[in-house]
Structure 1
Amino acid sequence: MATRLRPANKKCTVIGGSGFLGQHMVEHLVGKGYTVNVFDIRKGFDNNKVQFFLGDLCRKEDLLPALEGVMVVFHCASPAPSSNNRELFYAVNYIGTKVVIEACKEAGVQKLVLTSSASVVFEGTDIKDGSEDLPYAKKPIDYYTETKILQEKEVLSANNPEGPFLTVAIRPHGIFGPRDPQLVPILVQAAKSGKMKFVIGDGKNLVDFTYVENVVHGHILAAEQLQRDSPLCGKALHITNDEPIPFWVFMSRILIGLGYEAPKYRIPYWLAYYLAFLLSLVLMLLRPFLIINPTFTPMRVALAGTFHYYSCERAKKLMGYKPPVSLREAIEKTVESYPHLRRTA
């Protein structure tokens, strides 16, 4: 087993530390005795054990002060996948990451751990127990994924044991948990507006959902075991709960846990996809006169109606990964953390 970081080397920076995953990462790192810097465009929380650096990650001069004397950088900054801002995705995920790599090298950072995404290999068709050896998607499902592919390629190709500058990419899938601003609030809003009545497809498609603490655990494991002779160098690793679950069963457990009805009607997958595609064409024709950002899109139909779950065998074998929190416990903890979203009688 690879040696772990010595206490003297436990100074790190979390880029994007004010975000959902970033905040959980910071809390766990502080709890494990790390000295933690946070670099972000905003200060998202207060913690007197953490030093904050605010700036634009596309500006190297903003980044460098946050990297001084740092051994490990965790890069988990990204616009929300649900955003429609293509320029922002490109600037943050691609250009910003190139700047992060340059700044790390200039500051003498030795390890860079990237938060990538399992969706970099997903094209909207079934993936069952997919390994990291699957090729990058030639037709990514959205622009977020397209720029995550560019980002991951940059980080992994920057791996240079002679530097030493060691890199690894963690590919989570379907992150959820307390303080998540995306999955649960969006799901509840859809239920409130009557948009969660239909199951797309036969409801049997298995999907990975990953509890945020397990994602953090995977990142820290990778950082602590990344060294010159490590098989992790320049590699991507899937990190999931390792418990694929039918997509609509997961959604129903969250909804029922918060007092809402589970979807009970079914619509064939092909019909839902066709309708979403037709809607996207109509909105494209209307675009010169009217801009509408639909929630019912072919990409979201594909996410809801296909199999997409991934093997964690590489993470298990190379760094002894095992999810600390089971899916059942994770769903319970998540539901309990949203009392303000619970349906009132």
Structure 2
Amino acid sequence: MATRIRPSSKRCAVIGGSGFLGRHLVERLVEKGYSVAVFDIAQRYEVSGVTFHQGDLCNKQDLLKVLKDVSLVFHCASPAPGCNDRNLFWRVNVEGTRTVIQACQQAGVQKLVLTSSASVVFEGTDIMNGKEDLPYAKRPIDYYTETKIKQEKLVLEACSKEKDFLTVAIRPHGIFGPRDPQLVPILVDTARKGKMKFIIGDGTNLVDFTYVDNVVHGHILAAEHLRPDSPLCGKAYHITNDDPIRFWDFMSQVLVGLGYDAPRYHLPYSLVYGIAMLLWIITFLLRPVVNIKPTFTPMRVALAGTHHYYSCSRAKQDMGYQPVSSAYRPLDRGKNGDIGAVAQSRRTGEEV
């Protein structure tokens, strides 16, 4: 009986590789000598030596064309957290991930690394130095979190040493960096509308913002340490800067970098959260008649007004994780791939 030839461990595919995190991951993998294929709904850039494939995440045949002779898959495709389309979240994060798992198993992929989210344990209340053994949120406060929980469960439950298919989930939090499509654009839009004058709560709440290089580093470490005899199999890992910062201090630095005033006035957290919840209920009830997309959501209020930072101790112990970018120093390094450069580029139209 012929022995099946195992594909090279340096042959990988990045599903969602045209996105913010995906592109950074692709570029770093190429630097490390990996052969990379990208699968996404659209191609948004070019990298020498990288092959791009466009297709439907829910179409297994589209995926199988990309996964031939691939040993490692990174799955970081997801609608943006601010999207309000539950059907889209369900189709991509749940149905799409189920199809990814089936395609990987059929193609003989040995490793699947999922980009999950620390939000899977967040219910809008304080989390301080949270560990991975926190229970999944029983009352997710947006569709993104609801479907990311289901997605992570699917991936981790699929891990099987007997079937030679190993899985791991990376839970980043508050990703920022060059080419950021979320944090800075939302801040710019909000500041232009004069809505960034108020601090929600007392302004002392600590949160994790994670530089994109650290997130990429965590993904690659997980892939390289994921073996049948490793503790990573079927587990989730927090990846952050490992240095929580006051949410409103961070926001103020970014806003000042954009040329806007830092927020100065305080509003009670409970009042603002209650108003946001009421607006969310109203928009939900009106959805059959009119589609309203409020920027003032319960999730955004909760993220702005509570403590939510996470321990990286498991990642340090099991795969030797240490941040490769020093916490928030990139805020002050100008044109060096940092948030300050991103802020300036958003004002000038310049590519960072």
1:160 to partner: Cα distance: 0.6
1:153-192 aligned at under 5 Å gives the runs 153-192=153-192
Any gaps of 5 or more consecutive residues in structure 2? 1-5, 333-337
Please name the residue that 1:3 is paired with. Answer: none
SS in 1 for 2:262: coil
Please name the residue that 2:132 is paired with. Answer: 132
Picking from 305, 314, 339, the partner of 1:334 is 339
1:289 to partner: Cα distance: 4.4
Bigger mean CA deviation after superposition, 310-319 or 267-276: 267-276
Bigger mean CA deviation after superposition, 293-302 or 146-155: 293-302
SS in 2 for 1:23: helix
1:7 to partner: Cα distance: 11
Partners of 1:70 and 1:331 in 2: how far apart?
37
1:8 to partner: Cα distance: 4.1
Tell whether the 8 Å contact from 2:7 to 2:71 is kept in structure 1 after alignment.
Answer: no
1:267 to partner: Cα distance: 0.5
The residue type paired with residue 212 of structure 1 is: V
The residue type paired with residue 223 of structure 2 is: A
1:1-345 aligned at under 5 Å gives the runs 8-284=8-284, 286-287=286-287, 289-332=289-332, 333-342=338-347
Partners of 1:194 and 1:96 in 2: how far apart?
39
- Seen in structure 2, the aligned counterparts of structure 1 residues 329 and 49 have a Cα distance that, compared at 3 Å, is farther
Q: How many residues align?
A: 339
Partners of 2:95 and 2:49 in 1: how far apart?
30
Partners of 1:286 and 1:165 in 2: how far apart?
45
Partners of 2:92 and 2:288 in 1: how far apart?
28
TM-score between the two structures when normalised by the length of structure 2: 0.93
Bigger mean CA deviation after superposition, 310-319 or 325-334: 325-334
Tell whether the 8 Å contact from 2:73 to 2:109 is kept in structure 1 after alignment.
Answer: yes
SS in 1 for 2:156: helix
The residue type paired with residue 226 of structure 1 is: L
1:141 to partner: Cα distance: 1.4
The residue type paired with residue 265 of structure 2 is: Y
SS in 2 for 1:204: coil
Tell whether the 8 Å contact from 2:254 to 2:343 is kept in structure 1 after alignment.
Answer: no
SS in 1 for 2:328: helix
- Identity across aligned pairs (percent)? 67
Partners of 1:86 and 1:327 in 2: how far apart?
34
Tell whether the 8 Å contact from 2:8 to 2:70 is kept in structure 1 after alignment.
Answer: no
1:270 to partner: Cα distance: 1.3
The residue type paired with residue 190 of structure 2 is: A
- Seen in structure 2, the aligned counterparts of structure 1 residues 7 and 64 have a Cα distance that, compared at 3 Å, is closer
TM-score between the two structures when normalised by the length of structure 1: 0.95
- Seen in structure 2, the aligned counterparts of structure 1 residues 274 and 165 have a Cα distance that, compared at 3 Å, is same
- Seen in structure 2, the aligned counterparts of structure 1 residues 32 and 275 have a Cα distance that, compared at 3 Å, is same
SS in 2 for 1:151: helix
- Cα deviation 1:227-264 (Å, max 9, x = unaligned): 00000000000000001111111111111122211101
Tell whether the 8 Å contact from 2:7 to 2:69 is kept in structure 1 after alignment.
Answer: no
Tell whether the 8 Å contact from 2:128 to 2:309 is kept in structure 1 after alignment.
Answer: yes
Partners of 1:142 and 1:18 in 2: how far apart?
24
Any gaps of 5 or more consecutive residues in structure 1? 1-5
SS in 2 for 1:90: helix
Partners of 2:118 and 2:256 in 1: how far apart?
28
- Seen in structure 2, the aligned counterparts of structure 1 residues 283 and 17 have a Cα distance that, compared at 3 Å, is closer
Tell whether the 8 Å contact from 1:260 to 1:343 is kept in structure 2 after alignment.
Answer: no
Partners of 2:84 and 2:280 in 1: how far apart?
14
SS in 2 for 1:337: helix
